[in-house]
Amino acid sequence: MKIEFLGKSLSGPFTVPSGIVTCSANIIQRFFNQIPEVGVLTTKSIGPEPRLGYREPVLSQFEPGSFTNAVGLTNPGADRSAELLKGLVIPKDRFLLISIFGGNVEEYVEVAKKLALYGDGLELNLSCPHAKGYGMAMGQDPALVREIVAAVKTAVDVPIIPKLTPNVPNIDEIAQAAVAGGADGICAINTTNPECYEAHGHPILSN
């Protein structure tokens, strides 16, 4: 099955989203080499500086088949990520989205310029609910979303896909603002806020 996506004809219709599966360049390369059904892979979100995130446990199953997580934007930073990603061999029929985040417009642009060369497009993380000052904090105001998208779109020459948060009452307005800023697509959605509370003698999630 051939899929057309942002200028590329892809080998398969499936995608692996940003997360713990795609935090390693070696794992991404194995997907490229061995699983043609996956046409799009998105890296773990990368910020301007290294970030430890939260300690384990970071994943919880609160009902069979229902999971929640709180990783905290763990990543090695833009400079180290560039070193790791530049060694990838991306097949012509796959699409690598590099997920980026920042705490202001300038940081999004900074990271975008450092990493755009190593992928086929950029995903703008405007939606992670777990890291104060990042992710969802940057994606709740339509005017700010439009400004971020427009600034990154001007700074780099690759497709831009904002990833939106479901934890707002006006996701439609935010999506429209992203499109007005020049987004080439919309990724919806990121992790929801925790939906349950459990009292145990040990933490379900570390944060």
Backbone angles phi, psi at 121, to 5 degrees: -170, 170
CB atoms within 10 A of CB 156: 18
Which 3-state string (H, E, C) describes 39-83? EEEECCCECCCCECCCCCCCEEEEECCEEEECCCCCECCHHHHHH
* Active-site annotation holds for 196: no
Of 23, 128, 187, 196, the catalytic one is: 128
- Residue 119 tokens read as 């992928």
Backbone angles phi, psi at 158, to 5 degrees: -135, 160
Q: Rounded CA gap, 98 and 90, in Å?
A: 12
Q: Rounded CA gap, 179 and 160, in Å?
A: 10
Backbone angles phi, psi at 10, to 5 degrees: -95, 155
Indicate which residues carry an active-site annotation.
128
